[in-house]
Structure 1
Amino acid sequence: MKPRRAEGLNIVPFIDVMLVLLAIVLSVSTFIAQGKIPINLPQADNVEKKADDKVVQILINADNHIYIDDKELDSSALREAINAIDNATMIEVKSDKDARFESFVQIISIIKDKGHENFSITAQTP
């Protein structure tokens, strides 16, 4: 009489497939986390991260196009959009290091004219 062979489900190929899928998801998620608008942030030695629930991002790319939450705006629409933001909401200003300083100063001026003091300027660590 032959010894009985244990019949069962071989899960080794399943684990291999899952590990490959996990590697793909992790590598793609780093691209998603960066955002849609490419910005090369300037470097700073002392960078502080704050975690707020409500954050409005104002981005200036290298071509001096201004975006609020991934929507491109011109100067007049920019002022209206910033004035519509609640004073309790955190505004995060990100500017490409190759953008004109004038665009950055314009945004800070609008924020200060409104009296909004809950904003941060984002840089990256070297």
Structure 2
Amino acid sequence: MQYQPRKRRRKVAEINVVPYIDVMLVLLIIFMATATAITQGVSVDLPQAEAEPMSTDSKPPLVASVTLEGEYFLDNGSVDEGMPLQLDELAALVAAELQVHPDRPVVVNGDRQVAYDQIIQLMVSLQSAGVPSVGLMTEPGDE
């Protein structure tokens, strides 16, 4: 028998990152799932400081209004604007209108001194009526 010297294997100095990638992907999925469960609120399109006016060729928006006295109104062209509504009545009217015209924009108009809670209650009511996006009406600022 002939004696063959053993070849020494070189030590590999590389780090195997596959397990770390697996752990990171699992953590990413967990964070994505919990982030949507934790956040609560109403999705709104907040106006910018220099907001662009609505285009004139789009459909006229449904305007849900809150007065300083806390009364709710809906301007959709067919309801008497002088008649205050309850939140559930307003939501039912908006839902009915969106079934006929699903792409009609909805905006909230409120007195500048209305309590924040009343605006939020209106927006939650609109969200429960199926409004995908709510705009906020503003007056042009002094420049």
TM-score, scaled to structure 1: 0.57
Pairwise CA RMSD? 2.1
Report deviation, 1:98: 0.9
**CA shift for structure 1 position 103:** 1.5
Residue 7 of structure 2: aligned partner: none
Residue equivalent to 1:85: 97
Does the CA contact (< 8 Å) of 1:89 and 1:118 recur in 2?
Answer: no
The one-letter amino acid of 1:68's match is: L
Taking structure 2 as the reference length, the TM-score comes to 0.51
The 8 Å contact of residues 82 and 110 in structure 1, kept in 2 or not, is answered as no
| Larger CA Rg, structure 1 vs 2 | 2
Q: Any gaps of 5 or more consecutive residues in structure 1?
A: 1-43
Tell me the secondary structure at the aligned position of residue 72 of structure 1.
Answer: coil
Assess if the C-alpha contact under 8 Å between 2:106 and 2:133 holds in 1: yes
2:84 equivalent among 72, 75, 82:
72
> Any idea what the Cα deviations from partners look like across 1:59-116, whole Å, max 9, x if unmatched?
1111111110124201221221122121311112111111111121112112223342
- Tell whether 2:135 aligns with 1:120: yes
User: What is the correspondence of 1:13-28 to structure 2 with a 5 Å cutoff?
Assistant: none
Point out the more displaced range, 113-122 or 89-98. 113-122
Q: Which runs of 5+ in 2 are unaligned?
A: 1-47, 76-80
Name the count of aligned residue pairs: 84
Which structure shows the higher strand fraction?
A: 1
Q: How does 1:14-53 map to 2 (within 5 A)?
A: 45-51=49-55, 52-53=58-59
Aligned equivalents of 1:113 and 1:66: distance in 2? 16
Q: Which amino acid aligns with 1:91?
A: V
How far has the Cα of 1:53 moved from its partner?
2.0
Contact 2:87 2:122 in 1 (8 A): no
